[in-house]
Structure 1
Amino acid sequence: MPIIQKPRLWTYSPPVALMLLAPFNIFPSLGMDIYLPVVPMMPTILQTSPAVVQLTLTVYMVMLGVGQIVFGPLSDRIGRRSVLVGGAVLFALASFALAATSQAYVFIALRLVHAIGASAMLVALFATVRDVYAERPESVVIYSLMSAMLAFVPALGPIAGALIADAWGWRAIFVALGIPTVAMLFLVLPKWHETRLVQETPRAAAFRPVLESLTFWTYTIAFGTAMGTFFVFFSTAPRVLIDGAGFSELGFSVAFATVALVMIVTTRFAKRFVERWGSAGSVARGMAMLVMGAGLLALNQLFLPPSFWSFVLPMWLMAIGIVFTTSVTANGALREFGDIAGTAVALHFCIQSIIVGVFGTCFVILLGGGTAWPLVAYSAGMAGVTLGALRRLHIRNAHPQPA
């Protein structure tokens, strides 16, 4: 029989636990969102093209998901605390290095390191939460508060980035990421003890049954469609609103925040609609909203100049569709894999991050990041793929093949 060593129990109250957990939930997302207001000026600063600057967003997004395939099993082997500390150190060092360089490809390489650290922090964080709270009533409070924090980061992060850049320059944005990370490390190191169960013969990952599941692929593609829509939006919004519509960095950040606020408000009401429509119905309606929003954006791009009303307002409708979709995609993708949930989770987030980063970036580069066309094409095209997969899944479930 495998030898199992039980970890020390966390005895912290929920408020104290959240003080330890919350920063490592916020920093990885903030690493993307706080940087958005200065994206339009980065081609000049780095003396490169907008397409190369787009890679500074893409590599971060892709590695944030892909890294989970590495750090998930690694945290099972060497422990959550070690992965958290290593990730935080990498994230802080990369932040300071990003503030010190103006060379384009060095900047991209450092953003990759930045994302590796962020991915490690996220894996260690959620593995710790699962270890500590899986069988405890406080889990509902912890998970709901963690989700609420992530919803507020896209709303407040760009505003913070704009204010910091305006006061102290773009380099201060990355210093502002590095200093709190170092400070939190010193604060949590004495308190964040190991939480994993140590087994002599750990179970190997099983990718094949997950990758052969039509249900898994349907809901993972749906998640990639929804999150990719948001990715293409924040990849194009700085150039459309700052360069095209003449917004200030702060004005852009406030406009961007309205989309995040629509998502936050929708999340408050999504549960009742999801209960009524079910997983497939929620995704179908979410995709329909993405297509309608893309249609409005296309008309506005053809007949109206860039503005809040022509670019951001249609995104409100798409934001509602994003929430309806992402509310059910994880459960939909993972429902068949209770015995290998960890592997399925890692693959789900890894694949969707590749869809978002690679496909989204291709649309932005090929169709021009200074217009609404990348957002129109990605949202409408990927929504069509998702609806096709949903229909195929419905037909299969209605006429199951004999065993």
Structure 2
Amino acid sequence: MPRQNTRPWAYGLPAALMLLAPFNILASLGMDIYLPVIPAMPGILGTTPAVVQMTLTLYMIMLGVGQIVFGPLSDRLGRRPVLIGGAVLFALASFALAATTSAPLFVSLRVLQAVGASAALVAVFATVRDVYAEKPESAVVYSLMNAMLAFVPALGPIAGALIATTFGWPAIFVALGAPAIAMLTVALPAWHETRPQRHERERPAFGPVLRSPAFWTYTAGFGTAMGTFFVFFSTAPRVLIDGAGFSELGFSLAFASVAVVMIGTARLAGRVVGRWGIAGTALRGLTLLILGAGLLLPGQFLATPSFWSFVAPMWVMAVGIVFITSVTANGALQEFGAIAGTAVALHFCVQSLITGLVGTGFVIALGGDTAWPLIGYSAGMAALTLTALLRLGRRRSRPQPV
């Protein structure tokens, strides 16, 4: 039987955030810092753009799917060993990525890097739940962690462009591995076990979650929103660098403008949800995705790729993404208070599969050097989710049998 840790978590909030947040940020940075060199990677690795796309897709999928594995593992073995193992794997894979130009090995190492990132993420948020679940600081911790993450898409590509221009593309991966090792030297003496004692072995209850129409509707909404952003950053380097002639730094600044719109919209999300509710906010967000896809069409038909034909319509979609992501977790999980951990793991796992597999399908099928994958994915998935949301609303409005 696992032993309960009796050592209290004695860190104040600033110290705790300095210990927790870097692992959270590094996991996300592993995706965004790499974007400016995406157009150059087929030539560097001697492969095709489709194979390079897989280095994004598999990373995204493993971040979500890994939670199904590492959540129960952290309950069984503890948060500390999962964190340490994940951080070591992330660092070693990052250093190895900097040293290889073999396409098969590069793809495999990206999977291992994502596995390490997923383990670290699970350990971070499991620790936050252990320490702050019954404390008023929990809302502050989550809001600050999410605020930090919001800046990663804005600053990550800029950092990647500057690093690649100054030191070469391998330095991007060194810049991921070195901080992971540095944080490990801090975490090893400071991060003690927080897992509570389990008196009996609990089995995940997937059935009730997977049978819920609300879970599937709102999880599909989350996948639609995150997948729209995934398709945007999968296509943006080739559209803007190869098609529009942007420099790596110019691309990064254009990309950051979308992240800035998302950050600004997030500050208004609380008022928006309070006014329109969960379903109303999701509906308006999905509508904005369809509107943004429509605004991309004239540029695709009538103009060459440019900031105004490709990035500006994405600002509209960015507002929709924030509206959707601000409510879909509550919409999907509100029925499952007693099995919240299992529901959360499934929610993120399913949305990562939607984002990675369906989003990549659109990029490969419609061409990653045009706006068509973004138009097709955002409009198509938003229309399907809108239909499901309206059906869910009608079902809930029917009188229930007594």
**Structure-2 residue corresponding to 1:284:** 283
**Structure-1 residue corresponding to 2:79:** 80
Shift of residue 9, structure 1, vs aligned partner = 1.5
Does the C-alpha gap of structure 1 residues 4 and 183 become closer, same or farther in structure 2, counting only changes over 3 Å?
A: closer
Gap runs ≥5 in structure 1: none
Shift of residue 402, structure 1, vs aligned partner = 3.0
CA offset digits 1:338-378 (Å, max 9, x no partner): 00000000000000000000000000000000000000000
**Structure-1 residue corresponding to 2:319:** 320
Shift of residue 6, structure 1, vs aligned partner = 4.7
Cα distance in 1 between the residues matched to 2:141 and 2:156: 22
TM-score by length of 1: 0.98
Cα distance in 2 between the residues matched to 1:140 and 1:353: 25
Shift of residue 203, structure 1, vs aligned partner = 1.3
CA offset digits 1:182-216 (Å, max 9, x no partner): 01000111010000112131211000000000000
Q: Which amino acid aligns with 2:24?
A: N
**Structure-1 residue corresponding to 2:239:** 240
Cα distance in 2 between the residues matched to 1:400 and 1:371: 48
- Identity within the alignment, %: 71
2:39 is paired with a residue of what secondary structure? helix
Cα distance in 2 between the residues matched to 1:53 and 1:286: 30
CA offset digits 1:62-94 (Å, max 9, x no partner): 000000000000000000001000000000000
**Structure-1 residue corresponding to 2:173:** 174
Map 1:366-381 → 2, pairs under 5 A: 366-381=365-380
On the 8 A contact 1:220/1:352 being kept in 2, the answer is yes
Cα distance in 1 between the residues matched to 2:64 and 2:312: 29
Cα distance in 2 between the residues matched to 1:270 and 1:18: 23
On the 8 A contact 2:5/2:193 being kept in 1, the answer is no
On the 8 A contact 2:2/2:76 being kept in 1, the answer is no
2:92 is the counterpart of 1:93: yes
**Structure-1 residue corresponding to 2:138:** 139
Shift of residue 137, structure 1, vs aligned partner = 1.8
Gap runs ≥5 in structure 2: none
Shift of residue 401, structure 1, vs aligned partner = 5.1
Q: Which amino acid aligns with 2:143?
A: S
Does the C-alpha gap of structure 1 residues 313 and 7 become closer, same or farther in structure 2, counting only changes over 3 Å?
A: farther
Q: Which amino acid aligns with 2:9?
A: W
**Structure-2 residue corresponding to 1:202:** 201
Q: Between Structure 1 and Structure 2, how many residues are aligned?
A: 402
Cα distance in 1 between the residues matched to 2:329 and 2:14: 27
Q: Which amino acid aligns with 1:113?
A: L
**Structure-1 residue corresponding to 2:52:** 53
CA offset digits 1:20-71 (Å, max 9, x no partner): 0110110000000000000000000011110111000000000000000000
**Structure-1 residue corresponding to 2:307:** 308
Cα distance in 2 between the residues matched to 1:400 and 1:325: 28
**Structure-2 residue corresponding to 1:338:** 337
Does the C-alpha gap of structure 1 residues 50 and 162 become closer, same or farther in structure 2, counting only changes over 3 Å?
A: same
On the 8 A contact 1:4/1:200 being kept in 2, the answer is no
On the 8 A contact 1:64/1:119 being kept in 2, the answer is yes
Shift of residue 232, structure 1, vs aligned partner = 0.1
TM-score by length of 2: 0.99
**Structure-2 residue corresponding to 1:226:** 225
**Structure-2 residue corresponding to 1:153:** 152
Shift of residue 3, structure 1, vs aligned partner = 8.6
2:169 is the counterpart of 1:187: no
On the 8 A contact 2:219/2:350 being kept in 1, the answer is yes
**Structure-2 residue corresponding to 1:252:** 251
